[in-house]
Structure 1
């Protein structure tokens, strides 16, 4: 089977020149725009994560645009939920890929487009061409080492769990205030069960059940916080510096 590298390096094409490729990464589909910076852009839609389809689109675009045998493919996508696996796959394929910080991408204020909106693939493609022409138009992120990337998981999970714990606690407090119940103990703490046993009859049945489900979720989160914190303490005891 002919590989993408082989097709891009064949010598039956007419023009020498680089290919530029951008991705708009969706949950179910990816939008790809591929061009040489001069002619009409080729647009493709592939299933999210379908690397075989991505490689096939590169081959098709190279044939359509008749790039030279030594064509270099440059690509980009915005940093997001797909992380770095796509970057590493493209690099292994021989593509010169960059991952850009979405917050650093320029936005046309006249278009009144929210800065958080995902830019379409054509817009990214045009900016990629400008980037390789020497313009400073965005911030390119540096690929982390695989080990460092994984080491950050503990810290990030602890942050999320802490936010969840606060959210559950605040939710229970808000539900109690609906009936003028204002506990002077820590919600979910060691005195919570006794306090709730003494006050739960003051709350209607449906609300009581909701509070108890919320308290059960809070208990689970607190248990997970203890597990993650224990893992961090073990790392520190072993002389490891946790990454954030």
Structure 2
């Protein structure tokens, strides 16, 4: 086997006659690095724009187009690529609004990188890699990368309700555990900070050796209770927004969250997460939605070796976690459904590990079934529907 021993700065020949100016953006807080490859040029050019300066970015694009027009006698469109990151999708929306710009957002983890040595990483190297990846993608090379499907403003805004509630619940658990830990250190084991009489109970507490709570410890717990009660109020407000969103669905139109709520075992929070995190999108087939949730299998096949490595975990982690939780609840609340019967047949002679493997498979099947139910009205066989 022959290896290319050229230095890391050696550039291979690149086909540039694709009829466009290719641009990659490396975004940071202070500076945006613009890497470009124009028709009639065999070298990549690098320019910096102040972070957030959209007018300066458009001016740079126009300058690149003018240079290409001078060389080739034609005004070319601009094809832009950027990584999905902290800036979100607002830059892509600004670029996509221009008719002469074709914009893409790429999943950075899907881009292949060399593994034969410790990899150097700079903005210039990343910019070059993005340009090469974008040109390969436009040439039609399969699986060169995974482009991100940018959600609509309404879909992105709808995500915030369930995600904010999850963050608030995590904070509530942290404060609750902190209060219990402080009291456990004093020999108090039966105090529940989430009970409504928490303030009254705090005044009655005595330590394991019969003393009242010390002054500073009690003051610390009171401040923890203040923050805990603030979180409880915010959680109620977020849940009220979620319930109002479900109530706003018009009965004469497709009401996906209402349809999900009709199934026994699915509550308001699960319905909001399932729809906002995945079921609002259109998928071509069941493999696409399983891959989006990271529930697609990962085969390992080489020669005579052919085995499964488990799910890929490359998709939406919130949707994947919710589906596995829902799969366990589905077994309890939908015992007569076809999916539950399939699960029990699968694990009839298995051990605990078989149950864990089978529940992930059930989550994948259940997600596909719910997608068909929401978008195509195909009722899950044997599923129990709640009474109106």
TM-score normalised by structure 2 residue count: 0.51
Q: Give the CA deviation at 1:162.
A: 1.7
Counterparts in 2 of 1:185 and 1:111: CA distance versus 1, 3 Å:
farther
Partner of 1:61: 64
Moved more, 223-232 or 138-147: 138-147
Asked if structure 1 preserves the Cα contact closer than 8 Å seen for 2:22 and 2:79, the reply is: yes
Alignment partners' CA distance in 2, 1:203 and 1:161: 30
Counterparts in 2 of 1:87 and 1:195: CA distance versus 1, 3 Å:
same
Matching of residue 230 in structure 1 with residue 240 in structure 2: yes
Specify every segment of 5 or more residues in structure 2 that has no aligned partner in the other structure, as ranges: 1-16, 207-211, 250-254, 258-271, 278-388
Asked if structure 2 preserves the Cα contact closer than 8 Å seen for 1:18 and 1:67, the reply is: no
Matching of residue 190 in structure 1 with residue 196 in structure 2: yes
Q: Give the CA deviation at 1:138.
A: 1.6
Q: Give the CA deviation at 1:23.
A: 1.3
Q: Select which of 178, 188, 191 maps to 1:171.
A: 178
* 1:154-180 superposed Cα distances (whole Å, 9 cap, x missing partner): 222212212222222233334444x34
Q: Give the CA deviation at 1:73.
A: 1.1
Matching of residue 30 in structure 1 with residue 32 in structure 2: yes
* 1:165-217 superposed Cα distances (whole Å, 9 cap, x missing partner): 2222233334444x344442432431322333344953572x55444433322
Counterparts in 2 of 1:147 and 1:169: CA distance versus 1, 3 Å:
same
Pick 1 or 2: higher relative contact order, CA cutoff 8 A, min separation 6. 1
Q: Give the CA deviation at 1:96.
A: 0.8
Asked if structure 2 preserves the Cα contact closer than 8 Å seen for 1:35 and 1:61, the reply is: no
Partner of 1:9: none
Partner of 1:139: 146
Alignment partners' CA distance in 2, 1:152 and 1:95: 28
Give the 3-state SS of the residue equivalent to 2:97 in structure 1: helix
Q: In terms of Rg, which structure is larger? A: 2
Moved more, 187-196 or 26-35: 187-196
Partner of 1:89: 94
Q: Select which of 43, 47, 50 maps to 1:44.
A: 47
